[in-house]
Chain A
Amino acid sequence: MAVAQAKLDAAAARLAALSLPQTGWSAAARHDAAARLQAMGMPGKRDEYWRYTDPTSLTTADAPHARLFDAGDEPAMFDAVDRVKLVFVDGVFDPAASDDPVAAGVELLSRVSADIHWAQGLYGVLETRGQTPVARPLAALNTAAATEGVLIRVTGKAAKPVSLIYLHTSESSDAILHHCIKLESGAELTLLENGPAAARFNKVLEVEVGDGARFHHVRAQGRDHERRAVTHIFARLGRESLFKSFTLTANGVMTRNEAIIELTGDDAVAHVAGAALGDGDFHHDDTVFITHAAERCESRQVFKKVLKSGAVGVFQGKILVKPGAQKTDGYQISQCLLLDDDCQFLAKPELEIYADDVKCSHGSTSGAIDETALYYLRSRGVPLRQAQSLLVQAFLAEAIGEIEDEALAEDIRARLEGWLARHGQ
């Protein structure tokens, strides 16, 4: 089928507005990515996976403005965690505010001059694989045009979590970051990300999880109401490896989080979870594609959204079990709590199974707050708003429970409780 001219034009216009590095170790990968994007065009509203989310504000040549959010005196996210801090201001690395990346074994995309063989084998590679069977043009755009990012190769158990802090200081910033992480056999790393990053943020994270390696990812996307973000995680998992990713989203006029995970080694485990809360013109989209390509792998998708005053939530989750991926254990749940009648939750769970000895289940629910539970709490003296807040937290508990590190989970819970107490749910 011919690609609509408008989509091709949009891709050309977007690329024309960017300056793509022509030399350096990643030049070839970037060149290929630009060509991919030019061939597939920008996403359009009629694309199967963009029917519920209008891609326009993510694809225009200029980023729509986003006012800055004042979090007041609230301590920064993950403040209590001993971590390697790397700060990006509107997408630009801020060395003064950061720990020394080199000492922590982290290379920066903008500073790498010599060939990094392992990174060449990863940069744009998983993204390219992830373009089939579903095109992801904004990820190709990212590979072509990313201006910054981290390259981390982990060989043992990382001493501290690596914490990427994304500050947003300009109302018109348009940031494109691309991170590559390679965990060698048996290695372990926790990656933390937080902050809105920019008025518009396009981020790709490529993660290669080697045999027996463990990767933990916890992120919070920043509470600027008008910020827009499109993020992709591309992960490939080796034998007996573990991948766990949790995302907290509160506010944001446009969020599209994609996770494309391929279980290629036997007995690998992948969990992706998200908790999202928003009101008004909040639009939040989780699009997940998990491919089981090996035996006895386990995958879990746990996504919860709390919507208020006209907010929209989208979940598109797929489990693909390839021929021969026997004993697959796939689970998927997407649930939405609609606090007002004018909110919308659009869910599209998909299972595609080509092996005959697998266990796959999925569920999706949307509903109002449980009135009986609310009455029960109130009958014990808990005021209405506090009772609602408790029930919202309870609703999100399963997703937050996917965070393995209890201290990190507790940080998320406490913060959520504070937000709900201050702003109502």
Chain B
Amino acid sequence: MLEIKNLHVKLEEEDKVILKGVNLTVEAGTVHAIMGPNGSGKSTLSYVLSGRDGYEVTDGSATLDGAELLEMEPEERAAAGLFLAFQYPVEIPGVGNMTFLRTAVNAQRKARGEEEMSAGEFLKVVRAKAKTLKIDAEMMKRPVNVGFSGGEKKRNEILQMAMLEPKMCILDETDSGLDVDAMKLVAEGVNALRSAGRSFLVITHYQRLLDHIKPDVVHIMADGRIVKTGGPELALEVEHNGYANILAEVL
């Protein structure tokens, strides 16, 4: 599904190298987690994969089902099936949440040569999916993320994911700023989307999200590299002992 090879990235503005040779393979239908201390490059990895400006790839590649992601525009990556749930979802005053979602769904369908969803069909589907995420009609009418609480923003991200049905989902610290109940709700939303054809890359600081979204593989990222890979037990180890031991062992 997703294959990252020797990815080197620096900030465009300053000569600061963030990713120093990331290698990562996510197979179809699996959930991978990336943990790591602050500043290790986790969020940069998610931004680079989704095509945010400001980063320069100096070496390496990232492919989604064989297609080179790094050469695509952000919208092409989305249409190819990549989705990033933002750590800080962006507020867009003046653009209605419903309008935004329908525009996105139909733009992707159009890009893939599929028929656009009719207004009626869209409404039916979105209502059903919003309901399971406890997103009410009022929230759908409001401008995108404007005045949403932290939890509402994250649920809104998951709703977008559910509507867009991507095959590769990256969740960038989706648990940050969430209380336990909100985290459960978000995790349930994610779990409902798990399928043989869909993979997840879950970026998090804490084990607790992984109690709800059970990973198949856990990676530890430090200083711009994946330094250790293991099973779910690796996350527990971090939770108990912190990163110091692991980092001392590998660096």
Question: Bound state CA distance, A384 and B72, in angstroms?
Answer: 12
A residues near B95, Cβ cutoff 8 Å: 390-391, 393-394
Question: Bound state CA distance, A381 and B53, in angstroms?
Answer: 16
Give the Cβ gap from B94 to chain A, nearest Cβ, in Å: 3
For chain B, residues 46 to 95, give those with C-beta under 8 angstroms from any C-beta of chain A.
50-53, 73-75, 77-79, 83-84, 86, 89-95
A371 contacts B75, CB within 8 Å? no
Q: Does A50 contact B (CB under 8 A)?
A: no
For chain A, which range describes its interface: under 10, 10 to 19, 20 to 34, or 35 or more residues? Answer: 20 to 34
B residues near A372, Cβ cutoff 8 Å: 90
Give the Cβ gap from A402 to chain B, nearest Cβ, in Å: 14
Give the Cβ gap from A1 to chain B, nearest Cβ, in Å: 46
B94 contacts A381, CB within 8 Å? no
Q: Does A378 contact B (CB under 8 A)?
A: yes
A residues near B78, Cβ cutoff 8 Å: 378-381
Interface 1/0 per residue, A343-387 and B, CB below 8 Å: 000000000000000000000000000111101111111111011
- Which of B52, B92, B108 contacts A381 (CB under 8 A)? B108
Q: Does A395 contact B (CB under 8 A)?
A: yes
Of the listed stretches B99-107, B189-197, B233-241, chain A binds B99-107
B92 contacts A380, CB within 8 Å? no
Interface centre among B50, B104, B105, B160 (most CB of A within 10 A): B104
Question: Bound state CA distance, A371 and B93, in angstroms?
Answer: 14
Q: Does A397 contact B (CB under 8 A)?
A: yes
Q: Does B164 contact A (CB under 8 A)?
A: yes
Question: Bound state CA distance, A390 and B75, in angstroms?
Answer: 15
Q: Does B180 contact A (CB under 8 A)?
A: no
A383 contacts B90, CB within 8 Å? no
Q: Does B123 contact A (CB under 8 A)?
A: no
For chain B, residues 148 to 201, give those with C-beta under 8 angstroms from any C-beta of chain A.
160, 164
B90 contacts A382, CB within 8 Å? no
Closest to B163 in A: A380
- Which of B73, B90, B108, B160 contacts A384 (CB under 8 A)? B73
B residues near A373, Cβ cutoff 8 Å: 90-92
B residues near A397, Cβ cutoff 8 Å: 93-94
Q: Does B111 contact A (CB under 8 A)?
A: yes
Question: Bound state CA distance, A394 and B95, in angstroms?
Answer: 5
B51 contacts A379, CB within 8 Å? yes
B94 contacts A382, CB within 8 Å? no
Closest to B112 in A: A381
Given A378-B73, A378-B74, the answer on whether A383 and B107 have CB atoms closer than 8 Å is yes
Interface 1/0 per residue, B214-247 and A, CB below 8 Å: 0000000000000000000000000000000000
Question: Bound state CA distance, A383 and B104, in angstroms?
Answer: 9
Given A375-B74, A386-B103, A386-B107, the answer on whether A381 and B93 have CB atoms closer than 8 Å is no
Closest to B104 in A: A380
Question: Bound state CA distance, A379 and B143, in angstroms?
Answer: 18
Question: Bound state CA distance, A393 and B51, in angstroms?
Answer: 24
B107 contacts A379, CB within 8 Å? no
- Which of B50, B84, B90, B92 contacts A394 (CB under 8 A)? B92
Given A379-B84, A381-B164, A382-B103, the answer on whether A398 and B94 have CB atoms closer than 8 Å is yes
Given A380-B160, A381-B78, the answer on whether A395 and B107 have CB atoms closer than 8 Å is no
A384 contacts B75, CB within 8 Å? yes
B73 contacts A381, CB within 8 Å? no
Interface 1/0 per residue, B93-126 and A, CB below 8 Å: 1110001100111011001000000000000000
Interface centre among B75, B78, B93, B160 (most CB of A within 10 A): B75
Give the Cβ gap from A337 to chain B, nearest Cβ, in Å: 11
A residues near B89, Cβ cutoff 8 Å: 376
A-B contact pairs, 26 of them (CB 8 A): A370-B92, A373-B92, A375-B90, A377-B104, A378-B73, A378-B74, A378-B78, A379-B52, A379-B74, A379-B75, A380-B78, A380-B100, A380-B108, A380-B164, A381-B75, A381-B79, A381-B105, A381-B108, A383-B107, A383-B111, A384-B73, A386-B103, A390-B100, A393-B95, A394-B93, A394-B94
User: Apart from A379-B52, A383-B111, A386-B103, what 5 extra A-B contacts exist at CB < 8 Å?
Assistant: A376-B86, A381-B108, A390-B100, A397-B93, A398-B94
Top 9 nearest A-B pairs by Cβ distance? A394-B94, A381-B78, A381-B108, A378-B74, A376-B90, A380-B104, A397-B94, A394-B95, A378-B75
